[in-house]
């Protein structure tokens, strides 16, 4: 009996799953940080308002279609859909994010607006504290007008939390900004422009910086891998053009 049970266990363990089939493909598609350091140098300046969209790490979790859910029912003749945040940009674990010295660019009176996915809510609050801030409330709720699958309920919304260091920066602007933002989901991880515009209305005269920025925004300092690469490309193009002129 023990021999039959052992053979059955070995047989089950050797069956392929979505993870085993696409493990090598996933490794090839994961985006890597090519910089010598964890992230680019932070600016030598302090800010009143910090707006951050951290590249949360999902511990290698991949999204498949339902055929990969069961070893017994998986259909390997199909091209199983596979996706993860790490295919789009280099992700960072919470402990790595905590190492970025955001407190060095924060004024004594400063607000931190931070995006978090729902599974990372606890980590986001811990990260804000590690950066020298106190969690205050949910600043914005983004209704994506669409949904993702979830373990408990379908996921329709994403949260932007607000943290405070010292006092709320003054002078303040608009005091009637709505928490709920209804805006269709666009590219992966792209946040609605309505949120950054709302923060501008609330704090129109303050020094502001966007962390982990995908592109430069008018009226904001920008920091992150994407904008660093963009700046490097511009500098390379300018050098090429100047060389052609001479």
Question: 107, 48 in Cβ contact below 8 A?
Answer: yes
pLDDT (tens digit, 9 = 90+) per residue, 63-83?
Answer: 554 454 555 565 656 655 555
Specify the pLDDT at position 57. 73
Q: What is the model's pLDDT at position 4?
A: 45
| Model pLDDT for residues 211-242, shown as the tens digit of each residue | 999 889 999 999 988 776 454 443 333 333 33
pLDDT band at 147 (very low <50, low <70, confident <90, very high): confident
For 84-143, how does the pLDDT look when each residue is reduced to its tens digit (9 = 90+)?
544 555 678 899 899 999 999 999 999 999 999 888 999 999 999 999 999 999 999 999
Residue 59: pLDDT band (50, 70, 90) is low
pLDDT higher for 205 or 87?
205
Mean pLDDT over residues 39-43, rounded?
88
């Amino acid at each position: 009996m023990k021999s039959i049970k052992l053979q059955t266990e070995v047989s089950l363990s050797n069956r392929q799953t979505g993870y085993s089939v696409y493990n090598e493909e996933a490794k090839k598609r994961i985006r890597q940080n090519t910089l010598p350091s964890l992230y680019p140098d932070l600016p030598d300046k302090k800010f009143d308002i910090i707006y951050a969209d951290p590249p949360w790490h999902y511990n290698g979790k991949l999204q498949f279609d339902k055929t990969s859910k069961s070893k017994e029912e998986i259909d390997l003749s199909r091209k199983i859909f596979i996706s993860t945040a790490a295919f789009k940009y280099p992700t960072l674990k919470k402990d790595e994010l905590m190492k970025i010295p955001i407190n060095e660019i924060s004024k004594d009176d400063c607000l931190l607006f931070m995006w978090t996915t729902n599974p990372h809510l606890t980590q986001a609050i811990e990260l804000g504290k590690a950066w020298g801030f106190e969690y205050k409330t949910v600043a914005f709720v983004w209704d994506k007008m669409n949904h993702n699958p979830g373990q408990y309920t379908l996921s329709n919304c994403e949260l932007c939390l607000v943290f405070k260091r010292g006092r709320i920066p003054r002078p303040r602007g608009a005091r009637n900004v709505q928490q709920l933002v209804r805006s269709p989901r666009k590219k992966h991880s792209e946040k609605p422009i309505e949120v950054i515009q709302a923060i501008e209305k609330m704090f129109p005269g303050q020094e502001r910086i966007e962390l982990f920025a995908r592109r430069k925004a008018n009226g904001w300092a920008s920091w992150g891998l994407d904008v660093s690469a963009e700046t490097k490309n511009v500098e390379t193009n300018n050098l090429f053009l100047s060389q052609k002129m001479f």
